[in-house]
Structure 1
Amino acid sequence: MTSGTVGPYDLRGNRILAALPEAERRRLGAHLDAVELGVGDVLYRPGERIDALWFPLVGVVSIVAEMDGPTVEVATVGDEGMVGLPVFLGSGTPTEQAVCQVPGRGLRMDADRFRHELAVLDGQLQQTLQRFTHSMFTQLARNAGCNRSHRTRQRCARWLLMTADRMHSDRFPLTQKFLAQMLAVRRSSVSEVAGALAEDGCIRYSRGTITVLDRDLLEANACTCYRVIRDTIDAAFPAGV
């Protein structure tokens, strides 16, 4: 293992790990395991102890809340973040569930080992995670307002853009069932919205696969929440830092 890889994966593919000094990244790398993230994989559950943390490299993990009615997505995590934020914050068991929404790969660390490393490292990991936490608060706030104020078409376009960013690709798998759950709408509404975006030339949707054909046009269809969240993430992890 070199200072920048775990198995076949480059640690710098995760923006939190990329922002760390090389010595800290090397130390953490010794305790990270490469993992594949499959659709529907549950990383932690409400009311249960979080035993491990994940640093996604590619893919999308949804943080969802089980309401009296449908399950609602409250945030998503990709290569900019870490799944298991309650461990860093020192809170108790989570009240939400983390589930892989779009398949990918990442790096896994035992939660107790993470707590130990957080205590002994010289502050940079904590500062980096504080910046990520701020970006998550921004996302949570925008999601709350967005779900109430913006049209399904706008929210769908935003979600597709954020997914393309995290997949590093304009083509990725996504079923209507999952997208409907994340947007908290009926599957028929997802079909209508996806069809409208396809007719406009933004995307192609075929056999559970989304292909973004025109990013600029898709962003024009999205609400301003996409750019606010994207800019907050980029400010937390500037290129080259």
Structure 2
Amino acid sequence: MPSPHSPNQNQLLAALTPAEFEPLAALLERVPLALGEVLYEPGGQLQHAYFPTTAIVSLHYVMASGASAESVGVGNEGVVGIALFTGGNTTPSSAVVQTAGHAYRLERSKLLQEFNRAGLMQRLLLRYTQALITQMMQAAACNRHHSIEQQLCRWLLLTLDRLPSNELVMTQELVASMLGVRREGITEAAGKLQRAGLISYRRGHIAVLDRAGLETHACECYAVVKKELSRLLPDVRSGQDIAATVQ
């Protein structure tokens, strides 16, 4: 089991072999991430990559009108800052902490140095990037074709997958901002799920009471994302295992 604060709480870092992880160990800096903290501004030069352990970071696109919507969330399964190794160095979206917690950050030159070694870390980061693109594409399709209730179920399930408990500290206003819908729509959808006994909501706390029921109410988008994450980033116990699968 990982310690209360350990890089192994991040699945990408945990998948590295001891030989691959050792050069990074002294370079990783554990940092607290506060709710609402902005890690990246649109168009700004990225300085660090963040490997969340207990925090969740939301990548947002903000329109000229000020309206925004989440394109994808990143938790302990991934890394924030793919533009650093894909060559862009900047991004039109913002990165905002959705759930407070911790992450390990790595200075951009050190990340590039490790990526350019063309070892396991590079293969993991490329696999994760493909998984992230899948999530973005699926979210775009879901937001266009599925009901707010289905979108809320998908979002809740993906968030739960990144948390150690079944409770989220989240206001309806924030959820509405994540999905890019009106607060009234979230209120109505959450009310239906609560009456069905799937969730409970009180003063900014959402607790999932029946996960299986929530999955039943969700559209196929959650299952598609979950399957792709499992295919690209297998849940293994040692870096040796994933080293054999990520080729």
Structures share a fold, TM > 0.5?
yes
Partner of 1:132: 128
Partner of 1:199: 195
1:173 aligned onto 2:169: yes
> Would you say the 8 A contact 2:198–2:208 is kept in 1?
yes
> Would you say the 8 A contact 2:128–2:232 is kept in 1?
yes
Instruction: Show structure 2 runs of 5+ residues with no match.
Output: 237-241, 243-247
Report matched runs for 1:5-84 at 5 Å: 8-69=4-65, 70-84=67-81
Task: For residue 117 of structure 1, report the CA deviation from its aligned partner.
Answer: 2.3
DSSP 3-state at the match of 2:50: strand
Whole-Å separation in 2 of the counterparts to 1:61 and 1:177: 17
Partner of 1:87: 84
Structure-2-length-normalised TM-score: 0.91
Task: For residue 122 of structure 1, report the CA deviation from its aligned partner.
Answer: 4.7
Partner of 2:100: 103
DSSP 3-state at the match of 1:201: coil
> Would you say the 8 A contact 2:51–2:76 is kept in 1?
yes
The amino acid of 1:165's aligned partner reads D
DSSP 3-state at the match of 2:230: helix
Task: For residue 188 of structure 1, report the CA deviation from its aligned partner.
Answer: 1.6
Misfit runs of 4+, over 6 Å: none
Whole-Å separation in 2 of the counterparts to 1:11 and 1:138: 25
The total of aligned residue pairs comes to: 236
> Would you say the 8 A contact 2:46–2:89 is kept in 1?
no
Partner of 2:223: 227
The amino acid of 2:81's aligned partner reads G
The amino acid of 1:93's aligned partner reads T
> Would you say the 8 A contact 2:197–2:209 is kept in 1?
yes
1:116 aligned onto 2:113: yes
Task: Identify the match of residue 149 of structure 2 among 146, 153, 172.
Answer: 153
Structure-1-length-normalised TM-score: 0.93
C-alpha RMSD of the superposition: 1.6
The amino acid of 2:207's aligned partner reads T
Per-residue Cα deviation, 1:63-90 (whole angstroms, up to 9, x for no partner): 1111234111111111111000100101
Per-residue Cα deviation, 1:101-135 (whole angstroms, up to 9, x for no partner): 1222111111122112222x451110000110110
Task: For residue 155 of structure 1, report the CA deviation from its aligned partner.
Answer: 0.4
Instruction: Show structure 1 runs of 5+ residues with no match.
Output: none
Whole-Å separation in 1 of the counterparts to 2:25 and 2:227: 28
Whole-Å separation in 2 of the counterparts to 1:167 and 1:38: 16
DSSP 3-state at the match of 2:161: helix
> Would you say the 8 A contact 1:19–1:237 is kept in 2?
no
DSSP 3-state at the match of 2:103: strand
DSSP 3-state at the match of 2:112: helix
Whole-Å separation in 2 of the counterparts to 1:140 and 1:239: 21
> Would you say the 8 A contact 1:202–1:217 is kept in 2?
yes
> Would you say the 8 A contact 2:199–2:207 is kept in 1?
yes
DSSP 3-state at the match of 1:167: coil
> Would you say the 8 A contact 1:35–1:105 is kept in 2?
yes
Partner of 1:184: 180
Per-residue Cα deviation, 1:122-162 (whole angstroms, up to 9, x for no partner): 51110000110110110111011111000000000110111
